[in-house]
Amino acid sequence: MLPLILAVLAQADGDLLPRLQRRDAQALAELYDRYGGMVYRLILRIVRDSGIAEDLVQETFLRVWNRAGGFDSERGALGPWLLAVARNRAIDYLRTQGRRTETVMGLNETEHPALFADFAAQALDLHLAQQVRRALEALGTQQRELIELAYFEGLSQSEIAKRLGQPLGTVKTWMRRALQQMREGLGWKGAVSA
């Protein structure tokens, strides 16, 4: 049943893109109905304030609504793009609130529509999301904290090292081990070629 549902969702997303590009109001409503909960929970997890989260959810959907024209309607994946935009809006908010003292690579680069082309089938796999959650839970507390600082606060390795009071080299080592353990937990063991 799940693959069928996912296939329907993927097909529906494929239909949403051209409709969003035509400024179809109903398409935006459907996009919200499909991803509004995910976007809200992600932003809330990052900013930890429901009022701010509501503002940022609005900004996120407006950004996608206004930039849908940059998507390849044949191959784009709306959900991942939407969540990338949501995460970036929330982390930008944290930075502007002074909770961050320095920035790293521009987050905007991570939400460029082209990055989400040919992504739909994999990204819509909610089963994968559940696997990722289990893989995260399987990490040790310290390793999970590293991943969460990078993901939910957008901290660079230098910032994480400063936050944890650890040498940068140590943090890099811990981070690589944590990511490798997650990949193994997900069964992603593809060989790395030179």
Q: Which residues bind another protein (CB under 8 A)?
A: 23, 25-26, 28-29, 32-33, 36-38, 40-42, 44-45, 50, 53-54, 57-58, 61-62, 65, 79-80, 83-84, 86-88, 104-107, 109-110, 115-116, 118-119, 122-123, 125-126, 128-133, 136, 147, 150-151, 154-158, 175-176, 179-180, 182, 186, 188, 190, 192-194
- Closest CB 97 distance from another protein, rounded Å: 18
Cβ atoms of 139 and 178 within 8 Å: the answer is yes
CA dist 83 → 11, 40, 138, 164, 167 (Å): 19, 10, 24, 27, 32
Cβ closer to another protein: 97 or 112? Answer: 112
Cβ closer to another protein: 61 or 93? Answer: 61
- Closest CB 51 distance from another protein, rounded Å: 10
- Closest CB 139 distance from another protein, rounded Å: 12
- Closest CB 8 distance from another protein, rounded Å: 17
Quote the CA–CA distance of 119 and 75 in Å, as a whole number: 7
